[in-house]
A and B are shown apart, each in its own frame.
Chain A
């Protein structure tokens, strides 16, 4: 009994920080409708800043407290800069672009933090005055845990006062319901947005600062916490403060007890909680259902025609270049070409979902990675040869997409993006933690092509042939009756449903198809690299794919191919020159979203318009 109480307190202490993060994310989303990926980066920044301030003047209880509060305030200032300089420009952009732009900020802050504080983990001293423990029912409970819990309640109470009893709070709540009406009543929303963002950023910074006596300060804090925070807001309901609180407690307690009872299953537990919540109440425990009209795209793309003229020439010349290239270049270039062929398929499968189905996924790497692990594990555990192992790849990708997709396609827009990401991160954690089966961090090594395909040029032709065939198949699907229906559900899910289309089923099928195609790419990726590491499923792989699609331009089937070529080239060249690749990529993404939302394919149209 006493053990349960103590474990519950530990869980509450973890919930405290999670609540601070999630509630900030939720407030910002409620008002601005932007899911801020960089919210975790603000949390990490809060931790690093607090670490430095504590080192400077944190040798007493009040000094330490001041250091943490100052860190939170500085992060609030960073938030103000971020909102006024970047977010303001993208409030009208599609959700995918907003997510990507804020992910660009994640990358930029990652590299800047590494430049300033170094890559090694930092350890802050314990908080003076709260470094002991209190005896509760015969167990020692850290004083600091109790402090954290009380801070969470103070913040909850403070937010309640703010939102109930100040004009700012009432306006924020009103704007969360109906922004346009608030504007029509004469309220300048710019300061409302900035204010809400500063509030959210400060809370994130505080959450990070409060963590430093409990855990090491490191560069992986940002993405680790943001995924947990996504899960919390999805479960609690976007925009709901009390929802964030309840869900943070629920998840943290599940983890606290799960770790003791059955450590391997904690991830699955979170997965189950999320799945059950979304099935029973898709908008979260305390969330409001989104307006259905928001699903319908105001300005659908012009219908796409099957390739004619120029487009036909593009595809044929691509095929010819692809077939002829290995004869003209060296060994290293052949390896790069193989990677391009593989990534082109990955990008094309992602484009199929994004453009064809209008399904915003931020976790497409999961199916790429499942394909890679499908092949890798088949070789490692079952000693399969290359050909049968490659056949496992699409099966693994499709199986994962079938399972995750069942949940994901029931949501749309931002919720879907967050859920796909959460699933991908869960898959990533699973490969990371299930060491016996996947080799964990060490990966699976020695996945080499069979003897007949061991020559890089032969393997290239194999990869090129299969990837080209699958891309052609996806293109075919877009122009099939299934593709027409899918695009109809994208342009208006309501009207499609009204004429008898089973929207969910079509989306699920598209999701699975794209998963299988990504799996094929993943399988080849494993054999091309000779190894598989958890990285292939990580969110950065998903974002690489999104950048390729965006770079090439969404509105054309050639876009993802073009994007994969250009992206791989840039990455290959730049990583040789600088170790600030992430900083560059982050700025590239932000630039793309703000300046060139139609990608390279749209650039020509832009130039044509300018010059005419």
Chain B
């Protein structure tokens, strides 16, 4: 097996004095879609934030490829080719759709520009018709598309998606699933966090289950989804 695109070892992360992660180990293989499964508060978002340098990591290491980015500020981590799509979308509400994309615009690590505004408008056709509209006025699904598009503007090699299906209508969820498969087909490495096992099975090939800040099992998603014990104990049906 080739070296993982992203590797976390022994991560302990804190919010103030409260510890959220207790030694998380996670390997994200290159070119595949990996899903981090777990319930509310299990530590999914924190794991992604820890990879990104957005939370206080007091022990453990984060590697992007072979590069150690532990403790680096978020902007430097982003420049190693890691793209982050936050859970609550966090679009810049007072900026237009186009301006949101401008903020994300960045040449990729290897000098590549795989994604342009035009390509992204092809990938997310609804956005093309509302370039001048303020992001704050978009619907939840449109905001989810915009936040993914905004991150893709930075031409990442790995993309972290924090609960991309949360709070969206079923038809939009299907679109997002299709988008994730498209990204994987483009050669992007994807790590997403999810509560929804069925959604995860649609898009991911590998899975890790997190509970109370620790990774419990890791492996091909079919095995994990088939494991009744894991499903009943740790996952939301």
Most buried by A among B54, B104, B154: B104
Whether A184 and B94, one on each chain, are in contact in the complex, defined by CB atoms closer than 8 angstroms, is no
Q: Tell me, in angstroms, the Cα distance from A177 to B151 when the chains sit together.
A: 17
On whether the beta carbons of A181 and B90 are closer than 8 Å, the reply is yes
- Chain B 1-28 residues near chain A, CB threshold 8 A: 15-17
Q: Is the CB of A177 within 8 A of B75?
A: no
CA distance A188 to B99 in the complex (A): 18
Nearest-Cβ distance from residue B140 to partner chain A, whole angstroms: 17
Within 8 A of A (CB), among B59-113: 73-75, 78-79, 84, 86, 90, 92-95, 99-100, 102-106
Q: Does B150 make an interface contact (CB < 8 A)? A: yes
Taking the closest CB of chain A, its distance from the CB of B134, in whole angstroms, is: 11
B52 at the interface (CB under 8 A from A): yes
Assuming A173-B92, A177-B94, is B75 touching A187 (CB within 8 A)?
A: yes
B78 interface neighbour in A167, A178, A184, Cβ under 8 Å: A184
Q: Which residue of chain A is the closest to B154 with respect to CB atoms?
A: A186
Known A-B contacts A170-B99, A170-B102; A185 and B154 likewise in contact (beta carbons under 8 Å):
yes
CB-contact partner of B92 in A167, A181, A183, A298, under 8 A: A181
Q: By the criterion CB–CB under 8 Å, are B106 and A185 in contact?
A: yes
| A186-B90 contact given A170-B102, A170-B103, A180-B54, CB 8 Å threshold | no
Chain A residue with Cβ nearest B74: A183
Do A174 and B54 have beta carbons less than 8 Å apart?
Answer: no
As a 0/1 sequence over residues 36 to 52 of chain B, the CB contacts with chain A under 8 angstroms (1 = contact) are: 00000000000000001
Using CB atoms, name the residue of chain B closest to A188.
Answer: B75
Q: Which residue of A lies closest to B98 (CB)?
A: A170
Given A170-B103, A174-B103: A186 in contact with B75 (beta carbons within 8 A): yes
Q: Which residues of A contact B94 (CB under 8 A)?
A: 173, 177
- A587 contacts the other chain (Cβ, under 8 Å)? no
Contact A178 B90, CB 8 Å, known A185-B154, A186-B154: yes
* A180: nearest chain-B partner, CB-CB: B54
Nearest-CB residue, chain A, relative to B153: A185
Chain B residues, CB < 8 A from A187: 75, 103
- Whether, in the assembled complex, A189 has its beta carbon less than 8 Å from a beta carbon of chain B, the answer is yes
The reply on A171 being an interface residue by CB < 8 A is: yes
Chain B residues with Cβ below 8 Å from A298 are 15-16
Please give, as numbers and ranges, the residues of chain B lying within 8 Å of A188 by CB-CB distance. Answer: 75
- Closest chain A residue to B73 by CB distance? A183
A159 within 8 A of B: no
Inter-chain CA distance A461–B230, complex, in Å, is 75
Given contacts A180-B54, A185-B78, A186-B78, contact A174 B95 (CB under 8 A): yes
Q: How many A-B residue pairs have CB under 8 A?
A: 62
- A186 in contact with B17 (CB, 8 Å): no
Indicate whether A384 reaches chain B with its CB closer than 8 angstroms: no
Across the interface, do A184 and B92 meet the contact criterion of CB distance under 8 Å? Answer: no
Assuming the contacts A177-B92, A178-B90, asked whether A185 and B151 have C-beta atoms less than 8 A apart, the reply is yes
CB distance from A285 to the nearest CB of B (A): 16
Q: Please state if A170 and B75 are interface contacts (CB–CB under 8 Å).
A: no
Contact of B75 among A167, A174, A183 (CB under 8 A): A183
Known contacts A180-B54, A299-B17, A186 near B95 by CB under 8 Å: no
Q: Give every chain A residue within 8 A of B84 (Cβ-Cβ).
A: 184-185
Q: Complex Cα distance A145/B188, Å?
A: 60
Inter-subunit contact A299/B16 (CB<8 Å):
yes
Residues of chain B lying within 8 A (CB to CB) of residue A594: none
Alpha-carbon distance between A183 and B99 when the two chains are bound, in angstroms: 16
The listed residue (A173, A177, A184, A186) touching B54 by CB distance below 8 A is A184
Q: What is the chain A residue whose CB lies nearest that of B156?
A: A186
Q: Quick one: which of B84, B86, B103, B151 has the most chain A CB within 10 A?
A: B103
Q: From A173, A177, A185, name the one whose CB has the most chain B CB atoms within 10 angstroms.
A: A185
- Given known contacts A170-B103, A185-B151, A180 and B92 CB-to-CB distance under 8 angstroms: no
For A180, list chain B residues within 8 Å (CB).
Answer: 54, 74
Closest to B103 in A: A174
Residues of A140-175 at the interface with B, using a CB-CB cut-off of 8 Å, are 167, 170-171, 173-174
Q: How far is the CA of A381 from the CA of B104 in the complex (A)?
A: 67
Name which residue of chain B comes closest to A239, CB basis. Answer: B94
Closest to A178 in B: B90
Q: Does A182 make an interface contact (CB < 8 A)? A: yes
Task: State how many angstroms separate the Cβ of B132 from the closest Cβ of chain A.
Answer: 11
Q: Nearest chain-B residue to A288 (Cβ)?
A: B94
Contact A173 B78 (CB under 8 A): no
How far is it, in angstroms, between the C-alpha of A174 and the C-alpha of B105 when the chains are bound?
13
Contact residues, B142-177 vs A (CB, 8 A): 150-151, 154
Q: B106–A186 contact, CB under 8 A?
A: yes
Closest to B105 in A: A167
For window 360-377 of chain A, which residues contact chain B by CB distance below 8 Å? none
From A170, A180, A182, A298, name the one whose CB has the most chain B CB atoms within 10 angstroms: A170
CB of A181 within 8 A of CB of B75, answer: no
Task: Please give me the residue from chain B that is nearest to A189 by CB atom.
Answer: B75
Query: Which residues of A have CB within 8 Å of B86?
Result: 181, 184
Residues of chain A lying within 8 A (CB to CB) of residue B154: 185-186
How far apart are B191's CB and chain A's nearest CB, in angstroms?
Answer: 15
| B17/A173 in contact, CB under 8 A | no
A177 touches B93 (CB 8 A): yes
* Distance in Å: Cβ of A236 to nearest Cβ of chain B: 16
CA distance A184 to B99 in the complex (A): 16
Shortest distance in angstroms between B209's beta carbon and chain A's nearest beta carbon? 25
Chain B residues closer than 8 Å to A177, beta-carbon distance = 92-95
- Asked if B102 contacts A167 (CB within 8 A), the reply is yes
Given A170-B95, A178-B90, A180-B54, A185 contacting B150 (CB threshold 8 A): yes
The contact sample of 18 A-B pairs, CB cut-off 8 A, is A167-B105, A173-B92, A174-B99, A174-B103, A178-B90, A181-B92, A183-B73, A184-B54, A184-B74, A185-B84, A185-B103, A185-B106, A185-B154, A186-B75, A186-B79, A186-B106, A187-B103, A298-B16
Q: Considering the complex of A and B, which 3 residue pairs feature the smallest CB-CB distances, nearest first?
A: A186-B78, A183-B74, A174-B103
Residues of A within 8 A of B (CB): 167, 170-171, 173-174, 177-178, 180-189, 298-299
Sample of 9 more A-B contacts, CB < 8 Å, known A174-B95, A184-B54: A173-B94, A173-B95, A174-B99, A177-B94, A183-B73, A185-B106, A186-B104, A187-B75, A299-B17
